[in-house]
Structure 1
Amino acid sequence: MTNAATQGDLIEDSGQLRAVGDWTLAHYQRLRQLTADKTLDTQQLDLSGIGALDTSGAKVLGTLVGPEQLVDIDHWGSALPQPRRELLRTVGEAMNNMAGPAPAETQRVLHWLDGIGEHVIQLYQQQVLLLSFIGQVLAGFASTIWRPSRWRLTSVVAQLQQTGLNALPIVALLTFMVGAVVAFLGATVLADFGATIYTVDLVAFAFLREFGVLLAAIMLAGRTASAFTAQIGSMKANEELDALSSIGLPPMELLVLPRVLAMTIALPILTFVGMLCGLMGGALVCLVALDISLLQFTTILTNNIGVNNYIVGIAKAPIFAFVVAVIGCLEGFKVSGSAQSVGEHTTSSVVQSIFMVILLDALAALFLMEMGW
């Protein structure tokens, strides 16, 4: 055998390339240069002339014809001895499994997409669970409304005090200050057009349609929904819910329905108070900064602002209250039993409640705008 054949070579023979010589580690660099930029089909390559063969030579052949073809060596290289076919097949399988790690940028993108997918799945599961819980609450109301003996009036009154009466000062103060801020901003912008008188319309529209109910609902979402979650979650952690069920007292009827009913009653009242306080804050700014008297303020209010704006705002309150109360109670039932879980679900109830309130308000605004209401 010549020196070239000993080193390993590719010889063209009748339109076909024939591998000859030793395809081993000792000749690896020469074989790499020889096969560089070449890609052959198995019908174009004859391996019967190969002398010695090791994994390095098999890897070069895999690069030449592709790892998949090495794995399939029994179909096109049956002339080779069985040990060499086993070697080529093993190297081909190893090359198929050697797909290196994705680049760092690709890994970051995949990790980001994976995180988005997990959050989407969690959001879907959360919404399905929320709809299921809403169905249970409505079924609970339907089963108890015709049975006065099962009404928990004491619990409803206690929750009304906590949800409505105790929240009244903070809601009134918040809406009063926001009303003053809206009036200041409106006056600043409208002064450039000589239309500061329309500050009254701006404050009235904002609080009757949006801010009154929205601020009250957000305040209850942060103040009361978290309280519902913490109360029910603590009972869940202390196994008090299991104790109630064991003595025949359904937690839904005892804990959830009074809270939902109390918030549904309280939020419209707080919304009405928020509307009044917001208008009072705007009226004070108009009186002090714009020289618009209270009589003029009320005259413009009654002449330019229709009662439909008040109805739109107050009609949203029971819907927002129901959603906030249901989310607060649901997160309480999802507590797993530790103090950390109570904190996590309390935070989750506040975030979900505020998000749902703003989402529903935005959808309602779009719908009412399209309907011309």
Structure 2
Amino acid sequence: MVSTPIFKYVEQGGTPVLQASGNWTVFSIRGLRRRRRLNRDRPPVRQEPRLIDITGVERLDTAGVLELLQLAGGGRDTPVRAREQGQADLFRVVQSHNVQTPSEPHVNWISNWLAEVGHSLVDIYLQIIALCDFFGEILVVTAGALAQPKRFRPSAIVRQMYEVWIAALAIVGVLCFLIGVVIAYQGVQQLRQFGAETFTVEAVGVGIFRELGVLLTAIIVAGRSGSAFTAQIGTMQVNQEVDAMRTIGLNPIEWLVLPRILALLLSMPLLVFWGNMAGLLGGAVACTIYLDFTFVQFFARLRDTVGIWNFYTGMIKAPVFGMIIAAIGCFEGLQVRGSAESVGQLTTRSVVESIFCVIVLDAVFSIIFLLAGV
């Protein structure tokens, strides 16, 4: 049966002493602190004990020593009176290694916020450097493939084009059609106040051709195809298939990245054209309902009032957006390390970065076209 640990505070010759007896082991001291809180015994002496008397202790281990030191105020230099030399040596060992845990420093929320902003800026800078390095590697591999056209794999490019183009026609068409309806409806409602509702045709045409058609298609492709590229290559990274390719002398950029970039580079203008037509069809349907236009009148006015350069500006952006989305998707896929959790995190990052870069590039194109007078 485990002996109960007993302790009391006494004064011997004017010196506060903590006397202990019984067994002070990890098993016997369980519940001691709870009993102390309930009993709330405080020592009759007002000072912390300057001596620990364990001559009455039968069994002792490090857990018991730590408990006795806490009862004595946790002093590292408190002397010990022991019955056995082994107990005194154990006390000295525990006291020499008994280091108080430093309190966690208080951090001002402003300093903490500034530190987080600084870390984020550094991460963004390093990410931009890594992306530029990746684009440079892609250009080198592409130049080598152009010098030796047999290195291109048409079958892989066609297979990727099916995934990013044919399989995406339905969702791009439906969403662009609905956006065309929304633009026409809002245009009619706002322009009718000024008796200029017929200008809704121009609003639909310019909005779809210059901005919304290509931008909406790029966002859909980033969320659909860009994330798929990251997940596919990331899974290969987790399964060490990319490392196996490097081991047998195959360049992952040439075999995995280049076909996907070329596929999206070729497919994006086709998808944007399809989205533009679907958006115009949605605008035409809305105008026939709200303006009593016929389809022939809608497209005739569109042809007469919307210049061809409005169409070209959107189509010029399409391949650039496609290349950026594919490159970022493949880049993040190659950054996957460790586990499936990394695949999910980098897939999310790929979509966010792709959409961010697309919007930034769209703003840059808008400034360039404005300066060029287009």
Shorter-chain TM-score above 0.5 = yes
CA RMSD of aligned residues (A): 1.3
CA offsets per residue over residues 324-355 of structure 1, 9 Å max, x none?
A: 00000000000012010000000000000011
- Decide whether aligned partners of structure 1 residues 101 and 156 sit closer, same or farther in structure 2, where only a CA change above 3 A counts: closer
Report the equivalent of 2:266.
265
In the alignment, is residue 363 of structure 1 matched against residue 333 of structure 2? no
TM-superposed deviation, 1:171? 0.3
Q: Structure 1: how far apart are the matches of 2:184 and 2:340?
A: 44
Partner of 1:335, secondary structure, is coil
Q: Is 1:216–1:274's contact at 8 Å kept on the other side of the alignment?
A: yes
- Superposed counterparts of 1:185-224, under 5 Å: 185-224=186-225
Aligned residue pairs, count: 271
- Superposed counterparts of 1:263-342, under 5 Å: 263-342=264-343
Report the equivalent of 1:155.
156
Q: Is 1:225–1:325's contact at 8 Å kept on the other side of the alignment?
A: yes
CA offsets per residue over residues 163-196 of structure 1, 9 Å max, x none?
A: 1110011101110000000111111100100100
- Superposed counterparts of 1:139-150, under 5 Å: 139-150=140-151
Flag structure 2 segments of 5+ consecutive residues without an equivalent.
1-103
CA offsets per residue over residues 132-162 of structure 1, 9 Å max, x none?
A: 1111111111100121221111110110000
Report the equivalent of 1:180.
181
Report the equivalent of 1:252.
253
**Aligned partner letter, 2:134:** F
Partner of 1:166, secondary structure, is helix
Q: Is 1:238–1:337's contact at 8 Å kept on the other side of the alignment?
A: no
Q: Is 1:173–1:277's contact at 8 Å kept on the other side of the alignment?
A: yes
Q: Is 1:213–1:271's contact at 8 Å kept on the other side of the alignment?
A: yes
Q: Structure 2: how far apart are the matches of 1:253 and 1:246?
A: 15
Q: Structure 2: how far apart are the matches of 1:145 and 1:165?
A: 27
Q: Structure 1: how far apart are the matches of 2:250 and 2:371?
A: 47
**Aligned partner letter, 1:305:** V
**Aligned partner letter, 2:290:** A
- Superposed counterparts of 1:10-29, under 5 Å: none
CA offsets per residue over residues 91-132 of structure 1, 9 Å max, x none?
A: xxxxxxxxx967x7xx01111111111111111111111111
TM-superposed deviation, 1:298? 1.2
- Decide whether aligned partners of structure 1 residues 112 and 277 sit closer, same or farther in structure 2, where only a CA change above 3 A counts: same
Report the equivalent of 1:138.
139
Q: Structure 1: how far apart are the matches of 2:136 and 2:311?
A: 30
TM-superposed deviation, 1:367? 2.2
> Sequence identity of aligned pairs in percent?
44
